[in-house]
Structures are given as structure tokens and as C-alpha cells.
Amino acid sequence: MQFEVRWADIDANFHVRHSVYYDWAATTRLHIMQQAGITIPLLQQLHVGPILFREEAIFKREIHLHQQVTVTGSLYQCRRDYSRWSVEHQILINNETVAAIVRVDGAFIDTHARKLAVPNELLQSMMGKLPKSEQFIWQEV
């Protein structure tokens, strides 16, 4: 996804504040899930939702006001039943310079029982459509 840095994204040091990187990653993550067919109405119908256990950013280059950034998202590890997954986002300036890497570890929660859930076959097949990184590995339980 493409983003342009806005005034509201800037901190007191005149570069992008740290939380914006996480917002860009979350927006991109939900976008790639939607492209695979995993929509909010479907998740509501299935009574499941994605949750995060961990979110980390590695900052490599400053990003400044009015710069254009591209944010990618791909699975870099996952259990075969898609009950646990990890996504890596690269935040690029001018589609070439890596400014940051955001990694998240997540799962699905049953929104009624409020407990972790293994996605059903439909959701598993849709998760299988998500882009995978070159270093993708299947996670053993």
C-alpha cells in the first residue's frame, strides 16, 4: 500500500513518529487479508477475529513530511492450521530504501468464547492465499 506522510504523522524531531509505522502495517495487513477474501463481515459471521501477541518495529531510516512510502506485508511463518501466524511488513521510501521492518505474531480468537481458535477450513484456505516471504517457514507446534 502507498502512504504519503502527513503533518499529523510527524513528531517533535520532524520525522515520522513511531506509532505511525504500526498504523501503516495494520492497515496493510487488513488490506492483504481482505484481498484474500478475509473480510470483516466474514469474520463477524464466523465469530472470529485476528489478535496480536507481539508487535515490533526495527527502524532503519528516517521518513520525513510529504515523502511517499510503500508498505508490504507477507507471512514469514505460520502453523499449518493457521492458528498462529507471523507477518512481516517492510516500509520502503521510494520503493527501494527500507526505512523500517514491522513484525507481528498473531492468532485468531473466538469472539463469543473469548478464547483462541483454530480457523475453519474456509478461513484456512483464504489464509493460504496471503503472500509469503522468501524466507517463509511452516512453524511446528
Q: Residue 72 belongs to what domain range?
A: 2-139
Q: Above 90 in pLDDT, residue 39?
A: yes
Q: Report the domain count for the chain.
A: 1
Identify the band that residue 126 occupies on the pLDDT scale cut at 50, 70 and 90.
very high
Contact 85, 79 (CB under 8 A): yes
CATH number at residue 89: 3.10.129.10
Cell of 115: 478464547
Cα angle 5-9-11, degrees, rounded to a multiple of 5: 125
For the full predicted model, state whether its pTM sits above 0.85. yes
How many residues can be counted in the chain? 141
Q: What is the pLDDT of residue 140?
A: 87
